[in-house]
Amino acid sequence: MAKIECPKCGEQIETTGIVTVCPKCGADLREVVEALGHERNERMKTIVRDDSVTTHEFIVRTRGLKKIYVMGEVEVLALRDINLDVRRGEYLSIMGPSGSGKSTLFNMIGGLDKPTAGRCFIEEVDMAQLDAFELAWLRCRKIGYIFQTFNLIPVMTAIENVTLPMIFAGMGTDEMMERGRELLTLVGLGDRLDHKPYELSGGQQQRVAVARALANSPAIVLADEPTGNLDLHTGKEIIDLLKELNQASGVTVISATHDLKMIDVSDRVVHIRDGQVERIEHRHEIELEVGGMGG
């Protein structure tokens, strides 16, 4: 975490960029925080190339990823030794029964939790080497998240939910509203901008979440069981939407699921069981299997 000094009382304050007043003397810290943000943005741009044409073949790599949850005396080995390379632009599904470690893997790749051992690289940046600010920067700009339970902010309208990540990325208001409208239109909700989540169906809420995930034009969309709370038909619509976005914009989609509908749209399916990769199926193998079953 970065430290800033209060210009008034000299207090040293730890911040990830969210503090706006000095907790000691109440002085306005926005300018100091902004300057820190600027300095660190510049530094991050040298660590992560901030353009969409980076040449790394693999957008995500994990090496020897292991996660043990400790609950009192009990240890749960959630991930054993995950080595995974995800290509730029790929649509990858992580399949496995409940409790196999899908969400744990998702959280490691998304930088939402830290592995017990092993490494995870996003565009060849080792996430373990980043401090809290840098990690927040990477997450905000490089990764969009979609969850089973939508996780929209209930008091905010659709467009407010979608533009929230843009505020964190420092986008101006006009540009933000324009982009919010565009994204909601893209997911078929151009006429629902001012609806709050409870005024939308489950499928529509997940569309808002998809639009929010795309807010800062991420390189990767991580979806954890995005169809888990939706009926069959609505689930299929969300999958098709993710596939369309993947094909149109080249965004890499990594989706944890136990929904077999995902198989059709995936370039590869990684089957995990008991925290280990059991097997990896490629698109042409999947097509062969489907063909084989039909005739």
Ligand X SMILES: Nc1ncnc2c1ncn2[C@@H]1O[C@H](COP(=O)(O)OP(=O)(O)O)[C@@H](O)[C@H]1O
Nearest distance from C-beta of residue 7 to ligand X, angstroms: 41
Q: What are phi and psi of 59, to 5 degrees?
A: -85, -30
State the pairing for strand pair 12-15/143-147.
unpaired
Cβ closest to Mg ion, residue 90 vs residue 224: 224
What's the closest the beta carbon of residue 256 comes to ligand X, in angstroms?
6
Pair 215, 167: CB distance under 8 Å: no
Please, are residues 80 and 116 in contact by the beta-carbon 8 Å criterion? no
Instruction: Assess contact for 27 and 83: CB atoms under 8 A.
Output: no
Of residues 34 through 63, those in contact with ligand X by CB under 6 A are none
Smallest separation (angstroms) from ligand X to the CB of 228: 10
Is residue 226 involved in binding ligand X (CB under 6 A)? no
Q: State which residue has the least CB distance to Mg ion.
A: 103
Nearest 5°: the CA angle 178, 214, 107 is: 150
Q: Out of 22, 62, 92, 96, name the contact with ligand X by CB under 6 A.
A: 96
Least spacing, CB of residue 117 vs ligand X, in Å: 16
| DSSP labels, 238-259 | HHHHHHHHHHHH--EEEEEE--
Footprint on this chain of Mg ion (rule: CB under 5 A): 102-103
Q: How far is the CB of 161 from ligand X (least distance, A)?
A: 24
Whole-angstrom Cα distance, residue 210 to residue 67?
28
Window 64 to 83, contacts with ligand X (CB under 6 A): 69, 71, 76, 78
The neighbour count for residue 71, using CB atoms within 10 Å, is: 7
Where in 99-128 is the site for ligand X (CB under 6 A)?
A: 99-104
Residues 132-191 that bind ligand X (CB under 6 A): none
Separation of alpha carbons 173 and 167, rounded Å: 8
Beta carbons of 38 and 45 less than 8 angstroms apart:
no
Measured from the CB atom, the residue of 72 and 154 that comes closer to ligand X is 72
Smallest separation (angstroms) from Mg ion to the CB of 258:
9
| Residue (101 or 118) nearer to ligand X, CB | 101
Question: Is the Cβ of residue 103 or residue 252 nearer to Mg ion in the bound state?
Answer: 103
223: closest CA among 245, 199, 193, 201?
245
- Enumerate binding residues for ligand X (CB under 6 A): 69, 71, 76, 78, 96, 98-104
